[in-house]
């Protein structure tokens, strides 16, 4: 008799997660075709200036581009030359931070640089980095960022940060040192969600590494998660009459509804003990992705990314971009 462990049963449960979409597909497509067409007309206004780094074989620059509402989005552009290469175009990872985080210092990206990747490390507007936000609010919000404009999609924080991510990929693709055909989006938690959103909305994304991603099956997360979505729960607790308007807004950014638009190969990870980005939400999105995909389960991990998973990400992108 074949042995079936608890982990086998749990994996089968997660693979069966298939909640329905929370917005009509035609309505969603109409919204995003308009938003992307509008942003396609807006200049990126990319600016670069040299920056110091402890790495003698890495060229570091502070790159700034115009985000959703012309907010200057601050980034690191890091170009490796560890191996005496001839200056040819490099594959690139565009990275996004977790919630409340920042892009950090260039040293944070040593692993990617040693793999031969250029890096565009992007701040999240208004959060812990050097990037502010010009987003205006017509009404108040609760503590944090994500409930800002939550009943007014055109002025919502979610639209702003999503379009910042889409435009970051465009900014990377326009740099002469970067091979625009080999751009990956990479991040964990909020950064994982933004990596998937960028891939769903920008065809320039050639591969995705999304660890323990947020912004998945968001209505379930608002109800159960201890993530940034708990801020939306707090908002609805204060204004219960606005529940439907809130759910309407977040449905436009929920990867449950956008997953089928992703065409790039995807590597995801999930911790089964994660109370922030719940495994049910991650699998609900993973199960809808139609492109080449793989998910690494960590039954005994919470909201964390292990060294093992980081090594898996290096190998995945090296294979995806022909660097093996």
Binding residues for substrate: 99
By CB atoms closer than 10 A (0-12, 13-18, 19+), residue 120 is: buried
Q: C-alpha angle with apex 229: 35 to 38, nearest 5 degrees?
A: 5
Of the listed 195, 274, 297, 301, which one is catalytic?
274
Question: Token digits for 163?
Answer: 């379009």
Question: Token digits for 188?
Answer: 């964990």
Which residues participate in the annotated binding site? 99
Of the listed 68, 217, 252, 303, which one is catalytic?
303
Q: Return the SS3 of 305.
A: coil
Number of other residues whose CB lies within 10 A of the CB of residue 244:
10
The label of the residue with tokens 């919630």 reads 99
Of the listed 141, 147, 156, 189, which one is catalytic?
189
d(CA 232, CA 191): 18
274 annotated active-site: yes
Number of other residues whose CB lies within 10 A of the CB of residue 135:
20
102 annotated active-site: no
Q: For residue 65, give every residue at least 6 positions away whose Cβ sits within 8 Å of its Cβ, in sequence order, or none.
A: 44, 45, 46, 47, 72, 73, 75, 167, 168, 171
Catalytic residues: 189, 274, 303
């Amino acid at each position: 008799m074949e042995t079936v462990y608890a982990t086998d049963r749990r994996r089968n449960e997660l693979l069966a997660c298939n909640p329905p979409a929370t917005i009509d597909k035609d309505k969603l497509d109409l919204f995003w075709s308009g938003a992307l067409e509008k942003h396609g007309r807006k200049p990126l206004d990319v600016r670069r200036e040299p920056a110091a780094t402890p790495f003698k074989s890495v060229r570091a620059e502070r790159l700034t581009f115009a985000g959703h509402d012309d907010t200057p989005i601050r980034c690191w552009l890091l170009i490796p030359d560890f191996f005496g290469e001839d200056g040819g175009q490099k594959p690139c990872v565009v990275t996004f931070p977790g919630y409340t985080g920042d892009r950090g210092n260039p040293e944070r990206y040593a692993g990617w640089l040693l793999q031969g990747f250029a890096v565009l490390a992007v701040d999240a507007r208004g959060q812990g980095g050097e990037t502010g936000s010009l987003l205006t609010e017509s009404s108040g919000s609760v503590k944090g960022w994500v409930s800002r404009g939550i009943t007014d999609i055109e002025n919502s924080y979610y639209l702003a940060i999503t379009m910042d991510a889409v435009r970051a990929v465009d900014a990377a693709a326009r740099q002469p040192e970067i091979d625009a055909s080999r751009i990956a989006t990479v991040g964990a938690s909020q950064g994982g969600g933004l990596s998937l959103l960028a891939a769903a909305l920008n065809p320039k994304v050639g591969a995705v590494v999304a660890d323990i991603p947020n912004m998945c099956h968001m209505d379930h997360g608002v109800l159960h998660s201890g993530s940034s979505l708990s801020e939306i729960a707090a908002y609805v607790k204060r204004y219960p009459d606005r529940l439907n308007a809130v759910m309407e807004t977040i449905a436009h950014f929920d990867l449950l509804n956008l997953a089928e638009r992703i065409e790039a190969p995807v590597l995801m990870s999930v911790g089964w003990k994660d109370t922030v980005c719940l495994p049910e939400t991650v699998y609900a999105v993973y199960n809808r992705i139609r492109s080449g995909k793989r998910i690494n389960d960590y039954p005994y991990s919470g909201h964390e990314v292990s060294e093992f998973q980081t090594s898996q990400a290096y190998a995945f992108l090296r294979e995806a971009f022909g660097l093996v």
